[in-house]
Amino acid sequence: MTEEEGDDPFDALAVDPRIDRAMRWRLLLGRHGTDALPVQPGLGRPDGEGGGIRPRDLESALDAGQEIEKVLDFIYDREFAKRSHRQAGKGSGSGLTIPAWLSGVRDLFPREAAEVIERDALHRYGLTELVTDPEILSRAEPTTDLLKAIVQFKHLMKGPVLEIARQRVREIVDRIRAELETDCQPALTGPARPAGGPAKKSFRNVDWTRTIRRNLKNYDPETQQLVADRIDYRHRAQDRSRWRIVISVDQSGSMTDSLIHAAVMAGIFAHLPAVSVNLVLWDHRIVDMTEHAGDPLEILMGVQLGGGTDMLPALQYCSALVTEPARTLFVLLSDFYVWGDRAEILAHCEELSAAGVRGIGLCALDSGGTPIHDAQFARELADRGWFVGALTPRRLAEHVGRILRG
């Protein structure tokens, strides 16, 4: 049974509604609940309404149920030992290998259910073989959870598995970037202009030099007036000085979800015209990733999650990158649970704002989009002239786009 065929893993159990109900409870309770069920191996009980259950139907349902149960036991039998209220036996899944288990999960469950089971295996039960075994890693579903697992466990990877990990990261990042570019580019650049199309006719877009030159023939020496019968316009972006976007990202342990989107958004910003990007990652250390700002793969494979939130040295380092404050956006992404003297950190942020830097303080978000941050620090940062918010990538693109388009 596969997702492509549109099968429910319980279809084989549904030959009789009584079997279906009993077997679903059997899968919830595990093998420990067998004796409490109204339908058991070798026993077909009539319920008084529909007559007896055919032994052949019961046998078929039991066979299908055992295959499903085997892959669930392989992971969730660990819960009994974890809670220490029941001795965990080997379980019907004890003979499975990791590849066989993964194959069973994919064959027996729809995609959404398979992703939940794999996520539990990685994060709840520490089954790191999913990202340290080449065969497992090459077959794993290319999801954001897999990307997070690779980022977190890449220090365990060597040789072939590391190369496969890089391929999977590239695959997942390219998909995320394609989605974000589709969503964010209009917000960053405004409505698309056809290639070679005319500039917008507005007073601010008048090309005075070209207009005067074209209309010199209409100059009247007596009145000393030039009558323009044609006005030329230009695309304003051609004459703008470059914007600098300094992206400063907290890489402490709570930042995995936000770091993934920060890496991808840095790549999108880096490919904008007339924009230069500096990307700095920090915890109690500082790593300048500007060289790789356009390549999220290198950022995510180079990040070292963990450490503390020592913000002041990172602010000082990033401030030294600012050469033209009025044309600089300073994007600070953190959970704001900072080390050190908060007053000194906030005073430094206020100095940047007073110099003309556009400060954007972004609160960390978890995988569900819930903000993770010190609300008091966020309020104090906003009081220093910074825009502070918990923004999705699209909302960030809209905010940055409004500033860039001036």
Instruction: Let me know: does 126 contact 132? Beta carbons within 8 Å.
Output: no
Provide the H-helix boundaries in 287-392. Answer: 296-302, 311-319, 342-354, 375-383
According to the model, what pLDDT value does residue 356 have? 96
Quick one: which H or E segment has residue 98?
Answer: helix 98-108
Residue-level pLDDT at 141: 84
**Structural domains for the chain:** 11-126 (no CATH), 243-405 (3.40.50.410)
Which of helix, strand or coil describes residue 380?
A: helix
Cα 389 to Cα 261, 302, 320: the distances in Å are 15, 27, 25
Q: What is the pLDDT of residue 80?
A: 62
> What would you report as the CA-atom Rg of the chain, rounded to the nearest whole angstrom?
30
Tell me how far apart the alpha carbons of residues 74 and 47 are, in angstroms, rounded to a whole number.
33
The reported pLDDT for the residue numbered 232 is 77
- 214 vs 208: CA distance, rounded Å: 10
Q: Give me the pLDDT at residue 105, please.
A: 83
SS3 category, 215: coil
The mean pLDDT values, 10 residues at a time, for the chain of 406 residues are 44 58 69 58 44 56 68 75 48 62 79 82 78 85 86 85 93 92 81 56 75 77 81 61 91 81 92 90 92 92 81 96 96 92 95 97 82 92 96 90 85
